[in-house]
Amino acid sequence: MRVLFVMPYGALAASSRTRVYQYFPYLDRAGISYDVLTVFPDARIHGITLPLLRGPARKVVYYVEGWVRTLCVGWRTLLRARRYDVLFFQRAMLPPPVPALLRWRKTRIVYDFDDATFTTDVTERSLVNRIVRWRNSRGLPPMLRTSAHAIVENDYTRAYAERYCPRVSTITGPIDTDRYRPLESPKPCGSPVVLGWIGSPTTEKYLETIRRPLEEVGRRFSNVRLVLVGASSFEVAGLPTERLKWDVEREVADLRTFDIGLMPLPDDEWTRGKGGYKLLQYMAVGIPAVTSPVGVNRVLVSDGADGFWAAGEEAWTDRLCRLIRDADLRRNTGAAGRRKMEREYALSVSADRWIEILKATCPDPSASSASSTA
């Protein structure tokens, strides 16, 4: 069996890394060969978020470049399709007429998308954002209609995919629980309690929704600090704040410095489609998470058992203060979250389902060929 993976980004991008690349060792063990095509390879990934922060002109350049690159990858995919048993698209939306031609050639396709890619972040009101929203809402349905199977993150995105694709499976995360592990020994007594958040400059705006609870924490406690991994400028008056540059090699080590994980979100059509990956990371390293009860967050976290929901500023202040005061509560809640990750969202568990989807989509599952690199 031979598979071609087509993705917008390389392994440095979280969606590509978690939804495809981390499965490759399992494909190798299963004897499935594969090639990869990317729109923006890793050599370009460091500049991906920067144009989104520097005004409309840079955004236009970025999206035009992305359209040209996607068009080229689309035609390369069409020309090479007959060499493969299955084409696997991760978020990539090929421009017309490529999806129609793939459908006409009866190509066997699996389509995976994590966030609500049929829309955009509704907090941004720019013209560029409206154009991207229009493109996404029209680009995703043809890809799903062309596919034999779709893989999504949660029930919200599943409901959308089922409108166009005959078979849809939900695989949340997953997380490599062999790599993401708790600290082997507890922190020294008297260490500051660390409130932690991991993300990117494009998502740190959600921290604004809990600014006042964080300020209140700073007023009530002198032994608490805030650590932000991947943020660019967020600070809280009265609460010592440290910003760390995100690095894939340091990611787990940085997460292990946290005592409490934060995942605030507003409730809108974009955030309801999010996959909750921050929560998976926090819980996998054994720390309690406090989250807005939005979308899949309500499924990942059982309130009061393996984490806490916080709807509104008063609830955020209450949950954070309870956890800061009670080390046993932090430890027990974090341990319960870790057990849930191992049981339900571990990569080793999801890999079997993921590979079965590929095999079921393949017209001849016994097909095999030598692995190569695109």
Interval 260-286: pLDDT, tens: 999 999 998 888 988 899 999 999 999
Domain positions in the chain:
2-174+347-361, 193-344
3-state secondary structure of 170: strand
**Are the beta carbons of 165 and 125 closer than 8 angstroms?**
no
Residue 302 in 3-state DSSP? coil
pLDDT at 51: 47
Question: Could you tell me which residues come within 8 angstroms of residue 127 by beta carbon, excluding any fewer than 6 positions away?
Answer: 56
Question: Above 60 in pLDDT, residue 52?
Answer: no
Q: Output the average pLDDT for the chain.
A: 89
Q: How confident is the model at residue 339 (pLDDT cuts 50, 70, 90)?
A: very high
pLDDT digits (tens, 9 = 90+) for 315-327: 999 999 999 999 9
The domains spanning 2-174+347-361 and 193-344 adopt the same CATH topology: yes
Cβ proximity of 33 and 372 under 8 Å: yes
The CATH number that domain 2-174+347-361 falls under is 3.40.50.2000
The rounded distance, in Å, linking the Cα atoms of 84 and 66 is 25
What digits encode the pLDDT tens for the residues 170-228?
999 899 999 999 998 878 888 899 999 999 888 999 999 999 999 999 999 999 999 99
Percent of the chain with pLDDT over 70: 90
pLDDT of residue 125: 64
pLDDT at 373: 35
Non-local (6+) Cβ contacts of 38 within 8 A are: 6, 7, 8, 9, 10, 16, 73
pLDDT the model gives residue 340: 97
pLDDT in tens, 56-74: 677 777 778 888 999 999 9
The order of strands in the sheet holding 241-244 is 241-244, 224-229, 193-198, 260-263, 289-291, 308-309
Q: Which residues pair with residue 38 across a beta bridge?
A: 7
Give the tens place of pLDDT for each residue, 68-99: 999 999 999 999 999 999 999 999 999 889 99
Q: Which residues contact 226 (CB under 8 A, 6 or more apart)?
A: 194, 195, 196, 197, 214, 236, 239, 240, 241, 242
- CA distances to 7, 98, 105, 146, 344 from 167, rounded to whole Å, are 21, 21, 19, 12, 22
Compute how many other C-beta atoms are within 10 angstroms of the C-beta atom of residue 312.
Answer: 12
Helix (H, G, I), strand (E, B), or coil: what is residue 225?
strand
Is it the case that residue 287 has pLDDT exceeding 70? Answer: yes
- Is pLDDT at 122 greater than 60 in this prediction? no
With beta carbons less than 8 A apart as the criterion, state whether 300 and 284 touch: no
Distance between CA atoms of residues 374 and 363, nearest Å: 23
Q: Which is more confident, 350 or 125?
A: 350
Superfamily name and number for 193-344: Glycogen Phosphorylase B; (3.40.50.2000)
How many whole angstroms separate alpha carbon 86 and alpha carbon 80? 11
Longest dimension (CA), the chain: 66
Residue 372: pLDDT band with limits 50, 70, 90: very low
The DSSP letter of residue 21 is G
Residue 80 dihedral angles phi and psi, to the nearest 5°: -100, -5
How do residues 129-182 score in pLDDT, each as one tens digit? 677 777 777 889 999 999 999 999 999 999 999 999 999 999 998 999 999 999
Whether the pLDDT of residue 369 is over 50: the answer is no
pLDDT at 50: 47
What's the pLDDT score for residue 277?
Answer: 93
